[in-house]
Structure 1
């Protein structure tokens, strides 16, 4: 099935694959709360799989710190959440680093269930030498993480949540992304700044 959203995603997938030779590649999708980034990343995975690539999917939400662990960093504030809400050590150790190793190295795409505030039993998986990981989440393009990704996508939109406001004041992901996507009309995504066909 082809529609404007799928057509846009296929064009974007082509751009990503132009940079993708052989080996492992990680695509990060950042954006403010409720920006549509997760659904966009899901659809991007599906379009990449159309081209017979092995694609894995991960969400930063599944690398949360527990509420107890966050409490070690002070009271519950937007500053604490922005600084310590996610377990970036687990992200690197359990997912990014072993994924990069390829070969027989196993990795996990989920370590925590934020809805239950509980760790989950890790499911270690492996993949072929050539594979793509698509991950979405808030704060992915922050300076201390952005070097982990091969291709960086930012969903356009001004932040409204307090933690997002802090993140964007520190480093606006739209200024460091390879592509900024406007999802103002989710059925008709476009690159930020481009006119839609029906606009004059």
Structure 2
């Protein structure tokens, strides 16, 4: 379905075209990082729509849906921004039920959501499958951290300085903008500005 052309959609189409050689064919994963309330989820949703407009099969996932429970986080000590940055997400589940089976192509089903952080409860897994040529588009805080970065084919970073304490810890350890394929300035969300790394 053809999207209504707006400055935001035009910018996203340009980004999708620029990423086409990197995304290629087969199973590819695009990750969008950015500080709290930076607009990364809405941006990833719109990028999905643009990829789908171009005829690609796209699956969406969010790091928010791979949280550890509050009880599981408590096993790592007091509730601090440092604990949240280091142990807030179940990266083992992310790898085991999403990334690794997705990478296996059409032969293996995968899950895009395992946890509801609002209810602090596991959700019934919905196993999904798709064609050999598909894109997984995931957004969330800390997705471009060093221990996860090798999972993604393309890394995008939303511009913005961290204001949340956990984000400041993450950016001090590794600023996602320094290693991203491209950065996206959403100060005017209707007119994103994309800058590509060398």
Superposition RMSD on alpha carbons, in Å? 1.0
Using the TM superposition, name which of 44-53 and 184-193 deviates more.
184-193
Could you say what secondary structure the match of 1:169 adopts?
Answer: helix
Give distance in 2, aligned partners of 1:137 and 1:14.
23
**1:24 and 2:27 are equivalent in the alignment:** yes
Would you identify which runs of 4 or more consecutive aligned residues in structure 1 move more than 6 Å? none
Could you say what secondary structure the match of 1:103 adopts?
Answer: helix
**1:105 is matched with which residue?**
108
**1:84 and 2:84 are equivalent in the alignment:** no
**1:4 and 2:1 are equivalent in the alignment:** no
Could you say what secondary structure the match of 2:156 adopts?
Answer: strand
TM-score with structure 1 setting the length: 0.95
Could you say what secondary structure the match of 2:61 adopts?
Answer: strand
**1:157 is matched with which residue?**
160
Contact 2:159 2:184 (8 Å CA) reproduced: yes
- Superposed counterparts of 1:43-192, under 5 Å: 43-192=46-195
Could you say what secondary structure the match of 1:58 adopts?
Answer: strand
TM-score with structure 2 setting the length: 0.96
Contact 1:156 1:192 (8 Å CA) reproduced: no
Contact 1:22 1:130 (8 Å CA) reproduced: yes
What is the count of residue pairs matched by the alignment?
193
TM superposition shift of 1:131: 0.3
Structure 2 gap segments, 5+ residues each? none
TM superposition shift of 1:104: 1.8
Give distance in 1, aligned partners of 2:32 and 2:76.
27
CA displacement, residues 109-157 of structure 1 (integer Å, 9 cap, x when unaligned): 0000000000000000000000001000000000000000001100000
TM superposition shift of 1:165: 0.2
Structure 1 gap segments, 5+ residues each? 194-200
TM superposition shift of 1:192: 4.8
TM superposition shift of 1:16: 1.6
Contact 2:11 2:194 (8 Å CA) reproduced: no
